[in-house]
């Protein structure tokens, strides 16, 4: 079979080029042969914010944004959310296959073995001000773990990588819970080895004087589902950061800290908190139409709607909406969910939003559920980071096994001065 090719005519020179097309892409470096002269650097592609650039080959997560499809390792997200536990999905993302029962049991046991954090790390956490933002605490603490596990820098050793992947997944809930309790001056609660991953997280967050903390099973399962939905999302901003930092062969702790820093921005992991602020601003269901009109006039933004890759309903949002019903049956309904549903109903019928393909995304309902479950909004981004660490690490592991990858080094279009004559300081004008 002949290879598909792109025929390019450079109108500057009249020359023609044939660029091979593989997997629906041309290789950007193939453009370099297109030159106007021998000393020309060659043609580059300009793609700020990587709107149309594939930076890697990946077999982890598939998204069809037009159709609203999300699959992990080929399995539809809806099926995984219905039938699997978060740690089962974590195994799938990391290993490419669903675990057999025996594999799952030993994986769960292994994660449990690593939930404790070093006592000096606890002291490190105590050094933060009482009102420190949990995301800042998490980012710094995860980076600090790089000093506790110096062997993690042997990133080319698959066994070392695996050891630290487990540690990171196991310790994220412990660090988060300690960050949370620090704010209230509550003593840190040690992990309970008898509990599952999410139940134990809830125990470390909320246990007070009860001899054993038993989470409500509906809420624990809802949290598990939310973790599954947030576990990976191919080359989003934080995952691309993980790959960029990882490409320099930095260790997984500092790389995860960098990815978490990217996630902390309001345009990424902080978006669901913005949705809650918007719902507060709207105040009641009857004020929704007026708010929609303000959105259309460009006065305010409709938070939690629209997504860079989904031009359809974000499949995660559909599952979260269903899960919300189960959570509210336990916690009781609040006005926010009513406002959100009305907002969605009106927006999905309105030509303005339909034409722009603005559908609810994962952030639209997640903050509402988290708040109903008792999580304070400051913790929302951390709740995103706990499961996303699995995706970051799966992608990092894939990067390090990929012979095509090198240190990330984009190019630029230089827009500054050409060479200038130096002016001594006494001759310079203000």
**Residue placing its CB nearer to ligand MLT in the complex, 181 or 233:** 233
Q: Please state whether 93 falls in left (phi above 0), alpha (psi between -120 and 50) or beta.
A: alpha
Per DSSP bridges, beta strands 69-72 and 61-64 are antiparallel
Give dist(CA 3, CA 283) in Å, integer: 59
321-357 burial: b if 16+ Cβ within 10 Å, else e: bebbeebeeebeeeebbebbbbbbeebeebeebeeee
CB of 308 to ligand MLT, least distance (A): 5
- Cβ pair 235, 56 in contact under 8 A: yes
Q: At what angle do helices 119-126 and 134-148 cross, to 10 degrees?
A: 140
CB of 238 to ligand MLT, least distance (A): 7
* Catalytic residue (choose from 118, 268, 350, 402): 268
* Catalytic residue (choose from 232, 314, 363, 397): 363
The structure tokens listed for 236 are 């989003």
Q: Restricting to residues 231-260, which ones interact with ligand MLT according to CB under 6 A? A: 233, 236
Give dist(CA 139, CA 382) in Å, integer: 10
Q: Does 369 bind ligand MLT (CB under 6 A)?
A: no
* Catalytic residue (choose from 307, 314, 417, 427): 307
Note if 40 is an active site residue. no
Q: Does 381 bind ligand MLT (CB under 6 A)?
A: no
Note if 47 is an active site residue. no
Give dist(CA 227, CA 383) in Å, integer: 8
Q: Does 66 bind ligand MLT (CB under 6 A)?
A: no
- Cβ pair 108, 132 in contact under 8 A: no
Q: Does 318 bind ligand MLT (CB under 6 A)?
A: no
CB of 233 to ligand MLT, least distance (A): 3
Site string for ligand MLT, 276-315 (x = CB under 6 A): -------------------------------xx-------
Q: Does 331 bind ligand MLT (CB under 6 A)?
A: no
CB of 382 to ligand MLT, least distance (A): 15
Q: Does 225 bind ligand MLT (CB under 6 A)?
A: no
DSSP 356: T
Work out the number of other CB atoms within 10 angstroms of the CB of residue 218. 15
Note if 363 is an active site residue. yes
CB of 315 to ligand MLT, least distance (A): 11
Question: Residue numbers of the site for ligand MLT (CB under 6 A)?
Answer: 233, 236, 307-308, 362
Catalytic residues: 268, 307, 363
């Amino acid at each position: 079979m002949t290879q598909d090719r792109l025929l390019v005519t450079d109108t500057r020179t009249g020359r023609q080029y044939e660029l091979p097309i593989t997997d629906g892409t041309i290789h950007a470096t193939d453009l370099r042969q297109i030159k106007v002269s021998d000393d020309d650097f060659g043609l580059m592609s300009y793609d700020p914010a990587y709107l149309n650039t594939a930076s890697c080959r990946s077999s982890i997560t598939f998204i069809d944004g037009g159709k609203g499809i999300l699959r992990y390792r080929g399995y539809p997200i809806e099926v995984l959310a219905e039938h699997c536990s978060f740690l089962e999905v974590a195994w799938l993302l990391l290993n490419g296959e669903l675990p057999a029962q025996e594999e799952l049991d030993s994986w769960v046991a292994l994660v449990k073995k690593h939930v404790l954090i070093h006592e000096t790390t606890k002291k490190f956490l105590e050094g933060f001000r009482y009102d420190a933002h949990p995301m800042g605490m998490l980012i710094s603490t995860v980076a600090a773990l790089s000093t506790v596990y110096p062997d993690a820098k042997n990133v080319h050793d698959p066994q070392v990588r695996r050891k630290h992947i487990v540690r990171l997944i196991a310790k994220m809930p412990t660090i988060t819970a300690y960050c949370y309790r620090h704010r209230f001056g509550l003593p840190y609660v040690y992990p309970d080895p008898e509990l599952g991953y999410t139940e134990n997280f809830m125990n470390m967050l909320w246990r007070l004087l009860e001899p054993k903390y038993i989470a409500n099973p509906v809420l624990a399962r809802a949290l598990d589902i939310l973790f599954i939905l947030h576990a990976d999302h191919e080359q989003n901003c934080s995952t691309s950061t993980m790959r960029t930092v990882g490409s320099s062969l930095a260790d997984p702790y500092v790389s995860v800290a960098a990815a978490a820093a990217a996630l902390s921005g309001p345009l990424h992991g902080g978006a669901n908190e913005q949705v809650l602020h918007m719902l507060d601003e709207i105040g009641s269901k009857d004020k929704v139409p007026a708010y929609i009109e303000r959105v259309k006039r460009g006065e305010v933004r409709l938070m939690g709607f629209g997504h860079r890759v989904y031009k359809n309903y974000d499949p995660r949002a559909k599952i979260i909406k269903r899960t919300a019903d189960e959570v509210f049956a336990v916690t009781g309904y609040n006005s926010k969910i009513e406002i959100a549903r009305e907002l969605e109903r009106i927006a999905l019928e309105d030509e303005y939003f339909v034409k722009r393909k603005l559908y609810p995304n994962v952030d639209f309902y997640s903050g509402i559920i988290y708040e109903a479950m008792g999580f304070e909004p400051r913790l929302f981004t951390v709740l995103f980071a706990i499961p996303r660490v699995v995706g970051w690490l799966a992608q990092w592991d894939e990067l390090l096994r990929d012979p095509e990858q090198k240190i990330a080094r984009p190019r630029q279009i230089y827009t500054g001065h050409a060479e200038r004559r130096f002016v001594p300081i006494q001759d310079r004008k203000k």
